[in-house]
Amino acid sequence: MPLMTGDEYVRSLQKIKMRIFLFGEEIDNPVGNPILQPAVNSVKATYDLAQNPEYADLMTATSNLTGEKINRFTHIHQSPDDLVKKVKMQRLLGQKTAACFQRCVGMDSFNSVYSTTYEVDKKYGTHYHDNFVKFATYVQQNDLTVDGAMTDTKGDRSLSPSKQADPDLFLHVVERRPDGIVVRGAKAHQTGILNSHEVIVMPTIAMGPDDKDYAVSFAVPLDTEGLMMIVGRQSCDTRKTEGCQLDLGNSTYGGMEALTVFDNVFVPNDRIFLNGETEFAGMLVERFAGYHRQSYGGCKVGVGDVLIGATALASEYNGVEKASHIKDKLIEMVHLNETLYCCGIACSAEGQPTESGNYLIDLMLANVCKQNVTRFPYEIARLAQDIAGGLMVTLPSEKDMAHPVVGPVIRKYLAGPAKVDVMDRFKIMRLIENLTLGTAAVGYLTESMHGAGSPQAQRIMISRQSNMSAKKAMAKHIAHIKD
């Protein structure tokens, strides 16, 4: 089929009967729910922009599997140029939505599973790569959204999966049948799971021989029996139910996370991509983490662009745009944001082919990219709050502004320069609040810290990939030191 439109995507999502728990109530679909609809809109944007000829080069690609035009979010990277375009696409979407658009995890799982299954098959004569190619072709031909599920709840983190007091704290195989496997466990912090058609499950850490049942990867549709999603809370989330557009800051777009439970879920053989080959769990985790750490050099930069623009407007609406220290702080925000982008582009441009033929980013530079992402957005947000001022968090509600008695009072005393519409000033304050403290801060700040692994995980990878022995040899050569 051709690329879906955004409206066709929404209709396709409405056909999926899910089991979703939100604020103590069970619902069967996210479409139309006031809390969840902004997240649906963000994914919808990835379909709408793919239909726009202006963005076709970034938003679409030619499939190596079918030769057809596909959405880049379902693409298997074929060159460093593909990797660079991925980052540029993510920046574009961050600029357009100022929110998490939720498809990056699926795209990154696609490429890590593609190359890893090829190498598992090469060693063991399994058919995981064939299974995945069949699945990827199905996804591409139907233009589906796929979520990636890696993070287990982990329980006692000092213990391996097989040594946990409760074996379900890491997702694992509980039964092997002639026609497939049965799995049980949960995946936490699942970005966009409710807005997806399918989910790819992967192991969360490198594993030893005793963890065979936990070294599992597969894909299932979101209406699979035994799947249950429990939506996580976000700061200011219930504002979406109050009917006050101004108080939201970003009333159109948003993100969502959920704890996803797999309660004796059956997976047929042709949907299995890893099943007990523990030595390949670490490879899959490392490659996925690398791709996803690259992603942050695009999406967070795009959202950062919006925040910087909002901060510049706030300085104008406060009447301080000509102050030298304000100009310098805005320059620093741009400098930090573009540094993140440099890292995302660099690790992409240095990408190399895997044995399967798809391209993997430079893992060292991808980890450096994400290490910077754990810091720079926080400084950008701090500077935004500095320039915006306290009104960002003390502004009365939209309902107060509409009140016949206090509304005029608010507009009188909270006005800025005479040339500035006071309501425009309020809108920008709410947008900065949303990006740095509200629902969008989940994606822009907390996810910058913990998404794609903790800061320490990146430092471990940087240490492993630093090739310190070669650096020592260089120094010895220059200093004329002989071993």
Distance CA 482, CA 25 (A): 71
Would residue 286 show up in a list of annotated catalytic residues for this protein?
no
Residue from 198, 286, 398, 447 carrying the catalytic annotation: 447
Distance CA 350, CA 80 (A): 7
Would residue 299 show up in a list of annotated catalytic residues for this protein?
yes
Report the half-sphere exposure of 81 (CA within 13 A, side-chain side): 6
Residue from 292, 347, 374, 444 carrying the catalytic annotation: 292
**Token reading at 117:** 């299954």
Distance CA 319, CA 356 (A): 57
Residue from 60, 74, 100, 354 carrying the catalytic annotation: 100
Residue from 191, 278, 354, 374 carrying the catalytic annotation: 191
Residue from 119, 153, 189, 299 carrying the catalytic annotation: 299
Would residue 292 show up in a list of annotated catalytic residues for this protein?
yes
Distance CA 234, CA 252 (A): 16
Residue from 9, 46, 47, 104 carrying the catalytic annotation: 104
| DSSP run (H or E) holding 411 | helix 406-413
Residue from 47, 253, 291, 296 carrying the catalytic annotation: 296
Q: Which residues of 378-393 are buried (b: 16+ CB within 10 A; e: fewer)?
A: bebbebbbebbbebbe
266 sits in the region (left: phi over 0; alpha: psi -120 to 50; else beta) called beta
> Which residue has 């109050």 as its token pair?
242
Would residue 116 show up in a list of annotated catalytic residues for this protein?
no
Would residue 204 show up in a list of annotated catalytic residues for this protein?
no
Distance CA 279, CA 212 (A): 9
Would residue 257 show up in a list of annotated catalytic residues for this protein?
yes
* CA pseudo-torsion sign 234, 238, 244, 247: negative
**Token reading at 362:** 């430079």
Would residue 77 show up in a list of annotated catalytic residues for this protein?
no
**Which residues, other chains included, contact 71 with Cβ-Cβ below 8 Å and sequence gap of 6+?**
3, 46, 47, 50, 59, 60, 61, 143
Q: Which residues of 253-271 are buried (b: 16+ CB within 10 A; e: fewer)?
A: bbbbbbbbbbeebbbeeeb
Q: Of 175, 162, 178, 265, which is closest to residue 212 (Cα–Cα)? A: 162
Residue from 74, 75, 153, 257 carrying the catalytic annotation: 257
Distance CA 50, CA 39 (A): 18
The set of catalytic residues is 100, 104, 191, 257, 292, 296, 299, 447
